[in-house]
Amino acid sequence: MKLIAGAGIFLMLGSAHAADLENGDDLHFEHCTGCHDSAVYTRASRNVQSLDRLGTQVRFCKNSLSLTWFDDEVDDVIAYLNQAYYHF
């Protein structure tokens, strides 16, 4: 019995690390639409050309806003932007 309960907790912790696209959407909507709209993500001359670069750019914009996000939250926004616009 103990073994099964332990496995359940392990699974819950595991899923907490998967990117939460809905949370990324919310965070993005709340904090990231003040300076640019989504057109910067889809324009032909967009700067971001890789998933790595997307992470760098999200952190750069986040830091310039002095937002204190957990890594998980940064990952959620990266995953959201990638799924909605970049498709790397």
Residue 31 · residue 67 · CB < 8 Å: yes
Residue 77 · residue 24 · CB < 8 Å: yes
Closest CB 17 distance from ligand HEC, rounded Å = 20
Of the pair 8, 63, the CB lying nearest ligand HEC is at: 63
Closest CB 32 distance from ligand HEC, rounded Å = 3
Closest CB 66 distance from ligand HEC, rounded Å = 10
Closest by CA to 80, choosing from 45, 44, 49, 41, is 41
d(CA 23, CA 12): 17
Of the pair 19, 40, the CB lying nearest ligand HEC is at: 40
Which residues form the interface with ligand HEC (CB under 6 A)? Answer: 28, 31-32, 34-36, 40-41, 46-48, 54, 57-58, 61-62, 64-65, 77, 81
Of the pair 7, 65, the CB lying nearest ligand HEC is at: 65
Closest by CA to 15, choosing from 71, 72, 58, 54, is 72
